[in-house]
Amino acid sequence: MILPSIVDLVAICAKKGVQNAILSPGSRCAPLTIAFARHTQIHTRTISDERTAAFIALGMAQQLDEPVALVCTSGSAALNYYPAVAEAFFQQIPLLILTADRPAEWIDQYDGQTIFQPDVYGKHVKGSFELPDSSTFPDQLWQSSRIVNEAINLAKQFPTGPVHINIPLREPFYPEKGEELLFPEKPRVFNLVKSKTELTEESLIKLKSRLDIVQKILIVPGQQKPNPQIQAILDQLSKNQNAVIVTDTISNLQSDQTISFHDHWLGHYEVSENLKPDLIISFGKSVISKSLKLFLRKSQASHWHIQEDGKAKDTFQKLTRNIAATPLFFLNWLNQNLGAQNSQFYQAWHFLEKAVSKNLHQVLRQQPFGEYSALAFCLEKVPSPSKIHVANSMAVRYLNLLGKRNQEIICNRGTSGIDGSNSTAVGCTLTTKEIVTLVTGDMAFFYDRNAFWHNYATPNLRIILLNNHAGGIFRLIDGPANQPELEEFFETKQTLTANHLATEFGFFYSKVVNQEELEASLEDFYEDSLHPKILEIETSSLENAEILKSVKERIKLSLES
């Protein structure tokens, strides 16, 4: 017999909008598995590798803006969730993590599949909970339902994020043959009533008095999903020359009005006084550009960070105000209250933006075939609307260097690791019929090959694999690049190609080594297909490093001429 508390848990999940669950096989978690699988309002899938399962759930929740449930058995299975849990925490993605466990008396007693599971994710979850290990008394059932409600509410409360419920379970785990599960039609549910965060009139007066004495405002949006309302306000601020908007690709707020080529000259070009802000305004999460962060840390500007919960995020070491408001509310107010600004500041930034935009593609065309120019050519073929998932390391940096995109850009920049890039993209494809393009390097791709070990169709997935048979980014970092251990211990050279993987998982596959082959392969790459497709671009790590240096030098010369 399955405990009433487990049946209630699943019924509460369905009632509170948890419509997807990712399960990994196991015996201790059998009651949870059966309850989720039998609930008609929850779409349940099974993924054998828990690390992959967690990143797939993350990729789904990222798009759905609703918690996705994760269910695993006891022991090390729960630890395999950890990388994705940490990523979800720093990206503010809601997950409901349900780990089956042995009863407390059997922990650390040489019994199988037992570890210390309560609070196992530490500070990387918004909350840790534990269900009672029986439903013998009515108060235990009341406690269980209260905990499940509280956990889901917490996952959905700003900032959204992962929560963990550890669930000790005793045998028997399985219902009798033919036994039905009867889910309550009206499980006990209580929802969070959200309040609207707005600034007081007194606070706005103080902010306005500070705005009256600044002349050079730089707005830096961090990672976030596309937001047409915010985009419209930022574009208006820029058109009025009231602020300079600097947008990394993961901000999803790039437009013809924003600065997106800043990585080509910040750190490589002498910065004039006209480029230095006196006020930085930021919102959203992380920023890719290291050169931008260093530039702002060296500035004398004040920094206002806009975040609904008012938590301090001092990325640029200049923080003077935490503004507890929604970005939309604050930017609307800002747009209505800014006076005339320093026009030379605006023009200096946009002069450099236009100069890079004018020269970059011509410079790339003059380079030998390599992953930089190849990716630039591929991006011209990506349909819109669609979604681009991009792996960390060089893949996301190339994308950032190549400027404005019309597609939604998704990247695991919460912890910025290479693990889980494939799986997160797979999770995304399970939520949309749009094309999902994964741009990845070989190390990230092969590290996460179990992303494709499942039984679910992903015909809308396209993979652009930049295979230079090494961790090429280490050639671009002065420290490892100057060491004799570079090739063996930093780049970690490998000889794999994706052709065997493609055969194993039933993907269409092509490999290219020059521009002519690339153009031919892209002709039908985005046509409808019954299977995912992999385009592998094979290049040399050494040559890619030289190409990148050459492009930077030529852009610098064009700006100085």
pLDDT one-digit tens code per residue, 193-243:
887 777 999 999 999 999 999 999 999 999 999 999 999 999 999 999 999
The answer to whether position 545 is within a domain reads: yes
Alpha-carbon distances of 403 from 114, 132, 215, rounded to whole Å: 49, 53, 27
Averaged pLDDT score across all residues of the chain: 94
The pTM for the full model equals 0.95
Task: Return the CATH number at 335.
Answer: 3.40.50.1220
Number of domains into which the chain is organized: 3
Most confident of 46-55, 260-269, 547-556: 46-55
Residue 360 · residue 555 · CB < 8 Å = yes
Domain limit, last residue, from 319, 348, 377: 348
Q: For residue range 234-248, what is the model confidence (pLDDT) as tens digits?
A: 999 999 999 999 999
The interaxial angle of helices 371-379 and 515-522, nearest 10 deg, is: 20
**Which pair of tokens denotes residue 126?**
């918004």
Q: Report residue 521 as tokens.
A: 């392969």
- C-alpha distances in Å from residue 23, one per residue of 14, 35, 46, 56, 72: 16, 11, 5, 11, 6
Q: Where do runs of H (alpha helix) occur along 122-275?
A: 138-156, 201-211, 228-239
Helix 228-239 and helix 327-337: axis angle, to 10°? Answer: 20
- The tokens for 554 are 């030529």
Tokens standing for 370? 């390599």
Q: Is residue 179 included in any domain, yes or no?
A: no
Confidence of residue 478 (pLDDT cuts 50, 70, 90): low
Same structural domain, 125 and 243: no
Degrees (nearest 5) of the Cα angle 430, 166, 414? 50
Q: Indicate whether 332 and 390 sit together in one domain.
A: no
Say if residue 409 is in the same domain as residue 322. no
Is residue 138 in a domain? yes
In angstroms, the Cα distances linking 357 to 143, 262, 353, 366, 499 are: 60, 10, 6, 15, 36
Over residues 496-504, mean pLDDT: 96
The rounded radius of gyration (Å) of the Cα atoms in the chain is 25
Domain membership flag for residue 192: no
In terms of domains, do 215 and 118 share one? no
Residue 203 structure tokens: 């606070």
Structure confidence by residue, pLDDT tens digits, 139-168: 999 999 999 999 999 999 999 999 999 999
In a domain, 454, yes or no: yes
Asked whether the predicted pLDDT for residue 484 surpasses 80, the reply is: no
CA distance 336 to 309: 23
Q: Can you read off the two tokens belonging to residue 63?
A: 């798009």
Distance between CA atoms of residues 380 and 382, nearest Å: 6
Residue-wise pLDDT for 14-45, tens only, equals: 999 999 999 999 999 999 999 999 999 999 99
Residue 489 sits at φ, ψ, to 5 deg, of -105, -15
pLDDT digit string, tens, across residues 70-105: 999 999 999 999 999 999 999 999 999 999 999 989
Residue 530's φ and ψ, nearest 5 degrees, are -85, -15
Q: Does one domain contain both 337 and 390?
A: no
> Residue 42's pLDDT is what?
98
Q: What CATH number does the domain containing 47 carry? A: 3.40.50.970
Is residue 196 in a domain?
A: no
Instruction: Kindly tell me the burial class for residue 6, based on how many C-beta atoms sit within 10 Å of its own C-beta (0-12, 13-18, 19 or more).
Output: buried
DSSP 7-58: HHHHHHHHHTT--EEEE---STTHHHHHHHHH-TTSEEEE-S-HHHHHHHHH
Q: Which domain holds residue 395?
A: 366-560
Q: Which of 143, 168, 193 is the last residue of a domain?
A: 168
Examine the fold and report which residue of 322, 348, 374 is the final residue of a domain before the chain moves on. 348
